[in-house]
């Protein structure tokens, strides 16, 4: 089952892999024609009612596969209002080939006639809410006619995010949906054909730019709505928590606070005026600090534990205590990872080990990335947490879903890049599911590293990454 927006991610990922949407539309249109052949005999009257989006575009393709039928093609609205290039190209192809097309400018101009089959291609995954005119009148005409109604992807009026059927939706007799079924279709009690439209499995396995379409920032949002992150780090090291916290800000979090030993607070602050420091006594994290930190952590959307904390026994004991009592989402990195297998917690952890740290946690790895995918997935299932295992192929799994990131380059083996990744993961985990947050973060930081190395060659340092994070993360917004 895929929601409309999940389908959008997969579709954009397919395009990133070299299978553009126009090819998918051709497959979709052909699949609809195959279904028509099971519902009508040659010479029967088949009427296509196409909307102005890609759902309509699918059926404009279908028309070219139905030459043996008595065909009518109705476009709801003006041809110059067709909203996508690929749908318009398919409309233009029908004009050049002199197919019998008609445009329906408003609901009063609609005459559905008495077709044997009507293809409902008015609206697909692009809509929510009740049908507006002229689609509403067309839906009524279809529902009242004796024709067999074949809906393309979803019956027009079905919300593919929630599965809710609008009161004035099309009452389909048959549905051809694409790639995977959609919410609401199983409840319809009509035959649903799931058509393979040639989307490679890789479009769901590999993290590609389509995954960035999950991101949105509400224009009406206030400070804090986009996430507050607490970084617990520092002591023996000061650079790591500063990198993590700055990366969390570049990853889109509104407020990032760093809880660190008081003796290093000034130094960490000195790296950036954007950071808010919450010092605790002493020069390293220890069990007496945990109660206050737990209270502070509960006020944040995401906790990030590990960067620069070191591995003193008292520190690791404190990390274990903090995570055991925590109930939110926490990113666990660096030395803090070693405590994860030994604790019981209600928290959702996103653990970000490299392969060496994975072994230290009791996991297994393999030279072969495909084998590693299986090993990481089963270890994630065993610890019942989300893992982001860093490497030339980043493997992200929560034990049920598994994604693979292929961005990044050997220039990123320098110190500090992992701290940046933890920060971006923590910021995204404020607004995304843990698995999606980790996947988008891995893709983004790797892509940023690729851009930096493309521009300047190797010799990258972790601070180079920070400023470039937004340009990758929000590239779609910038292009739009």
Known binding-site residues for AMP equal 418
Residue 84 interacts with, from ligand NAX, K ion, none (CB under 5-8 Å by kind): ligand NAX
Q: Which is nearer to K ion, 194 or 314 (CB)?
A: 194
Beta bridge partners of 158: 165
d(CA 216, CA 392): 28
Residue 151 interacts with, from ligand NAX, K ion, none (CB under 5-8 Å by kind): K ion
- Provide the minimum distance between the beta carbon of 194 and K ion in the complex, in angstroms, as a whole number: 15
- Provide the minimum distance between the beta carbon of 4 and ligand NAX in the complex, in angstroms, as a whole number: 7
Residue 47 interacts with, from K ion, ligand NAX, none (CB under 5-8 Å by kind): none
DSSP for 457-472, written as a single string: -S---HHHHHHHHHHH
Residue 132 interacts with, from ligand NAX, K ion, none (CB under 5-8 Å by kind): ligand NAX
Instruction: Provide the annotated binding site for (6S)-NADPHX.
Output: 54-58, 124-130, 153, 240, 308, 354, 419
Classify residue 339 as left (phi > 0), alpha (psi -120 to 50) or beta: alpha
Which pair of tokens denotes residue 150?
Answer: 């074949």
Q: Which is nearer to ligand NAX, 175 or 304 (CB)?
A: 175
Q: Which is nearer to ligand NAX, 11 or 321 (CB)?
A: 11
Classify residue 246 as left (phi > 0), alpha (psi -120 to 50) or beta: alpha
d(CA 210, CA 206): 10
Which pair of tokens denotes residue 445?
Answer: 């930081």
Residue 476 interacts with, from ligand NAX, K ion, none (CB under 5-8 Å by kind): none
Q: Which is nearer to ligand NAX, 151 or 302 (CB)?
A: 151
d(CA 480, CA 474): 10
Cα–Cα distances (Å) from 137 to 57, 141, 430, in that order, read 20, 6, 43
Residue 37 interacts with, from ligand NAX, K ion, none (CB under 5-8 Å by kind): none
- Provide the minimum distance between the beta carbon of 476 and ligand NAX in the complex, in angstroms, as a whole number: 15
Instruction: Provide the annotated binding site for K(+).
Output: 55, 120, 156
Taking the CB of residue 378, how many other CB atoms lie within 10 A of it? Answer: 13
d(CA 332, CA 326): 12
- Interface residues with K ion (CB under 5 A) are 120, 151-152, 156
Which element (helix H / strand E) includes 274? none
Residue 300 interacts with, from ligand NAX, K ion, none (CB under 5-8 Å by kind): none
In sequence order, what are the residues at sequence separation of 6 or more whose Cβ sits closer than 8 angstroms to the Cβ of residue 112? 47, 49, 118, 138, 141, 142, 145, 147
Beta bridge partners of 462: none
- Provide the minimum distance between the beta carbon of 118 and K ion in the complex, in angstroms, as a whole number: 11
- Angle (CA) 61-67-70 rounded to 5° is 110
Residue 7 interacts with, from ligand NAX, K ion, none (CB under 5-8 Å by kind): ligand NAX
- Provide the minimum distance between the beta carbon of 333 and ligand NAX in the complex, in angstroms, as a whole number: 35
Of 478, 476, 453, 472, residue with least CA distance to 464: 453
Q: Which is nearer to ligand NAX, 84 or 381 (CB)?
A: 84
- Provide the minimum distance between the beta carbon of 125 and ligand NAX in the complex, in angstroms, as a whole number: 4
Residue 125 interacts with, from K ion, ligand NAX, none (CB under 5-8 Å by kind): ligand NAX
- Interface residues with ligand NAX (CB under 6 A) are 7-8, 11, 21, 24-25, 28, 51-58, 83-84, 123-127, 129, 131-132, 135, 152-153, 178, 197
Q: Which is nearer to ligand NAX, 204 or 419 (CB)?
A: 204
Q: Which is nearer to ligand NAX, 21 or 30 (CB)?
A: 21
- Provide the minimum distance between the beta carbon of 126 and K ion in the complex, in angstroms, as a whole number: 10
Q: Which is nearer to ligand NAX, 29 or 446 (CB)?
A: 29
Q: Which is nearer to ligand NAX, 6 or 228 (CB)?
A: 6
- Provide the minimum distance between the beta carbon of 173 and ligand NAX in the complex, in angstroms, as a whole number: 18
Of 104, 112, 108, residue with least CA distance to 51: 104
- Provide the minimum distance between the beta carbon of 148 and ligand NAX in the complex, in angstroms, as a whole number: 19
Classify residue 82 as left (phi > 0), alpha (psi -120 to 50) or beta: beta
221: helix, coil or strand? coil
232: helix, coil or strand? strand
């Amino acid at each position: 089952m895929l929601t409309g927006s999940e389908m959008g991610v997969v579709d954009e990922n397919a395009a990133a892999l070299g299978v553009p949407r126009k090819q998918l539309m051709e497959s979709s249109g052909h699949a609809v024609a195959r279904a028509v052949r099971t519902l009508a005999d040659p010479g029967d009257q088949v009427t296509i009612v196409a909307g102005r989006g890609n759902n309509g575009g699918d059926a404009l393709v279908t028309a070219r596969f139905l030459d043996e039928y008595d065909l009518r093609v109705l476009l709801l609205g003006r041809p110059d209002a067709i909203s996508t290039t690929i749908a318009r190209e398919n409309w233009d192809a029908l004009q050049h080939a002199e197919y019998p097309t008609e445009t329906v400018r408003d609901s009063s101009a609609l005459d559905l006639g008495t077709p044997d089959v009507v293809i409902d291609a008015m609206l697909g995954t692009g809509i929510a809410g009740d049908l507006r005119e002229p689609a509403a009148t067309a839906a009524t005409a279809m529902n009242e006619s004796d024709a067999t109604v074949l809906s393309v992807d979803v019956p027009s009026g079905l919300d593919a995010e929630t599965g809710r059927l609008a009161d004035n939706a099309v009452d389909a007799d048959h549905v051809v949906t694409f790639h995977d079924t959609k919410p609401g279709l199983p409840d319809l009690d009509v035959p649903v054909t799931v058509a393979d439209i040639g989307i490679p499995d890789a479009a769901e396995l590999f993290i590609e730019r389509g995954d960035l379409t999950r991101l949105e920032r509400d224009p009406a949002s206030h400070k804090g709505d986009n996430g507050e992150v607490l970084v617990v780090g520092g002591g023996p090291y000061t650079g790591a928590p500063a990198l993590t916290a700055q990366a969390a800000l570049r990853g889109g979090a509104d407020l990032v606070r760093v809880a660190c030993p008081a003796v290093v607070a000034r130094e960490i602050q000195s790296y950036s005026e954007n950071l808010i420091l919450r010092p605790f006594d002493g020069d390293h994290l220890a069990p007496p600090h945990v109660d206050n930190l737990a209270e502070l952590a509960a006020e944040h959307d995401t906790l990030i534990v590990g960067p620069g904390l070191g591995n003193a026994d008292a520190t690791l004991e404190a990390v274990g205590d903090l995570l055991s009592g925590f109930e939110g989402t926490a990113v666990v990195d660096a030395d803090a990872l070693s405590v994860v297998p030994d604790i019981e917690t209600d928290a959702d952890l996103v653990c970000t080990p490299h392969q060496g740290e994975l072994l230290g946690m009791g996991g297994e790895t393999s030279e072969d990335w495909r084998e590693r995918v299986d090993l990481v997935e089963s270890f994630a299932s065993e610890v019942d947490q989300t893992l982001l295992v860093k490497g030339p192929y980043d493997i992200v799994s929560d034990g049920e879903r598994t994604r693979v990131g292929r961005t990044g380059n050997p220039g990123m083996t320098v110190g500090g890049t992992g701290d940046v990744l933890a920060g971006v993961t923590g910021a995204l985990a404020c607004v995304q599911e843990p698995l999606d947050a980790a996947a988008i973060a891995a893709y983004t930081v790797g892509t940023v590293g690729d851009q930096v190395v493309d521009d300047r060659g190797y010799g990258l340092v972790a601070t180079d990454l920070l400023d470039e994070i937004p340009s990758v993360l929000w590239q779609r917004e910038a292009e739009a």
